[in-house]
Amino acid sequence: MANRTGAAAERAEGSEALASEAAEAFAAAAGVERHEIAVVLGSGWGAGAERLGPVTAQVPAESIPGFAPSSTPGHAGMLTSVQVAGTDAHALVITARSHYYERRDSLGVAHPIRMAAHTGARIMVLTNGCGAIRPWAPGTVAIVRDHLNLTAATPLAGAAFVDLTDLYSRRLRAVVSTRYPDLPQGVYAQFPGPQYETPAEVRAAGILGADLVGMSTALEAIAARAAGMEVVGLSLITNPAAGTGPGGLDHADVLATGRLAAERLADMIAVLIPAFLMA
Ligand code: 8IG
């Protein structure tokens, strides 16, 4: 380790220095100094950048420091800079989510979030696809009201006693509810994955207070709050959680629900991002 001292050690995986370096590299690649808002597009939400405004730049995540090559062949994560129509702000759109189940690495999960903070983002929009414990139909979008972190992991290290009382911003949830009054709000439980839950685990999560089950978002939300950002979470329900629907879970059905919802979700993103910025 003799050669990993000083600056090199400070740029270690998951570090603030690496996030800062990534932000500088992205700002240079985009030719945009400041991104006021960041959006992580999860399962089903991938079309969300398209109607947001003119794309200023799009780079493969792997070209930015700290991003691991995508583990899904043919699906390189992208980092996109979009000029948000109707505002003078820029959005950093992240379709390079690193899931905890990929490498059991919560620091890697937090890297894009910390990078976003270093680009200037004060708002972090986290979207995902998830299962519903409640009888909410596939295709429904739920607003994340709170979460249960059931991963036994954290993106934080050291004495980072971060207050999570209002983690999913009441203010920004109200912005969503004003535009879309019918959306339910729910508690999202992040399981470690990659396996889906057993029916017993789903029942247990329900007793603990969860309405939704997924494999992302909670660790990212913690990292975002620790970095000083205001957080909003939106979940596309793609399936009844295991044991609550008529049959088993099939990833193909999950993807099909996402495809059917894609246009509607893209519209929602285009409506909500400017609304968050102006709130
Ligand atoms: I999409 O039912 C999607 N992601 N843990 N459980 C978990 N993650 C999910 C599910 C689900 N559906």
Q: What is the pLDDT of residues 68-109, one digit of tens each?
A: 876 665 556 899 999 999 999 999 999 978 899 988 888 889
Looking only at the bridges linking them, the beta strands covering 185-190 and 90-94 are: unpaired
* CATH code of residue 153: 3.40.50.1580
Using a 6 Å cutoff on CB, does residue 254 contact ligand 1? yes
**One-letter amino acid of 10:** E
Q: What is the pLDDT of residue 254?
A: 84
Tell which atom from ligand 1 comes closest to the C-alpha of 191. 5
In the chain, the number of structural domains is 1
| Residue 273 structure tokens | 């991002």
Rounded-to-integer distance, Cα 232 and Cα 236, Å? 14
Q: What is the pLDDT of residue 178?
A: 98
Give CA angle at 59 (56, 62), nearest 5°: 160
Catalytic residue flag (residue 197) = yes
Instruction: Tell how far the Cα of 142 is from the centroid of ligand 1, in angstroms.
Output: 14
Q: What pTM, to 2 d.p., does this model score?
A: 0.94
The parent domain of residue 197 ranges over: 2-278
Tell which atom from ligand 1 comes closest to the C-alpha of 241. 2
In this structure, the residue with its CA closest to atom 4 of ligand 1 is 130
Total count of residues recorded for the chain:
279
Choose the catalytic residue: 21, 197, 201, 220.
Answer: 197
Q: What is the pLDDT of residue 8?
A: 47
Q: What is the pLDDT of residue 58?
A: 95
In this structure, the residue with its CA closest to atom 5 of ligand 1 is 214
Q: Which helix (H) or strand (E) holds 131?
A: strand 123-132
Q: What is the pLDDT of residue 195?
A: 95
- For 228-270, the DSSP string reads T-EEEEEEEEEEEPTTSSSS---HHHHHHHHHHHHHHHHHHHH
Q: Smallest Cα–Cα separation from 235: which of 157, 161, 170, 168?
A: 168
Instruction: Tell how far the Cα of 133 is from the centroid of ligand 1, in angstroms.
Output: 10
Regions of the chain with pLDDT less than 50: 1-6, 8-9
| Residue 89 structure tokens | 């702000």
